[in-house]
Amino acid sequence: MIVLKTVEELKKMRAAGRISQRALRLAGQAVEPGVTTSELDAIVRKYIEDQGATPSFLGYGGFPASACISVNNVVIHGIPNEKTILKQGDIVSIDVGAFFEGYHGDNAWTFACGDISDEAQRLLDTTRDSLFEGIKAAKAGGRIGDIGHAVQRYAELRSYSVVRDFTGHGVGAKLHEAPNVPNYGTPGRGAALMPGMTIAIEPMVNAGTHRVKVLRDKWTTVTADGKLSAHFEHTLAITPDGPVILTDAD
């Protein structure tokens, strides 16, 4: 069931979204060669808890950390650890959620570790821009398929593929609510976009095949061909005046 939010509920989601975004930015600023992914996770957890909030991911389905940190060919759900030490040229996806006053904010960004290749930068730019293409399509009166089509078209016209096994989702009192928000689709199809809907749009774009595989830890998801992947995400509200990003710290 899709849960429409009231004006007051949207204010609470905005507060959660700001905490989530600021934690993400702090971790992103710490991305540099020699830093471990567990150090980044500690930054996220400390900031969120210092705001009186709770990391949305910590313990969710048994996940053992506060952020998902995915490096290079890891698409999503990378588990932070002391052994993964960032090096020059890596691309680092950090996915952060914060639970505050009964609501979640959920966002992700992929950061460059030092100087990266032109190929990697192009992938990051395309994935980020595909997110904003999806957001532009998230208009009241439209359909979920409009969003997926906008993301897919933007990425595929640039010779990239979009992951199909995982999708964006509704966000609210629960971290994952209806509806699913695929990064592919047909315009005019899927659930109607209505004022009060709150969704996370999160393109996962691969340099090679769209196929992925989940490793033995049952979390870490990698590209099937070992090529790079990037991930960008915002939580937003559908309003009569257009989409409003809730995970925006400014």
Residue 249 DSSP code: -
Extract the residue ranges of the chain whose pLDDT is less than 70.
Answer: 249-250
pLDDT at position 250 is 65
Q: Would you state the structure tokens that stand for residue 92, as one six-digit string? A: 């680092």
**CA 203 to CA 132: how far, in whole Å?**
10
Other beta carbons less than 10 A from residue 48's beta carbon: 28
pLDDT at position 126 is 98
pLDDT at position 181 is 98
Domain ranges of the chain: 7-245
pLDDT in tens, 10-27: 999 999 999 999 999 999
CATH number, span 7-245: 3.90.230.10
pTM of the model: 0.97
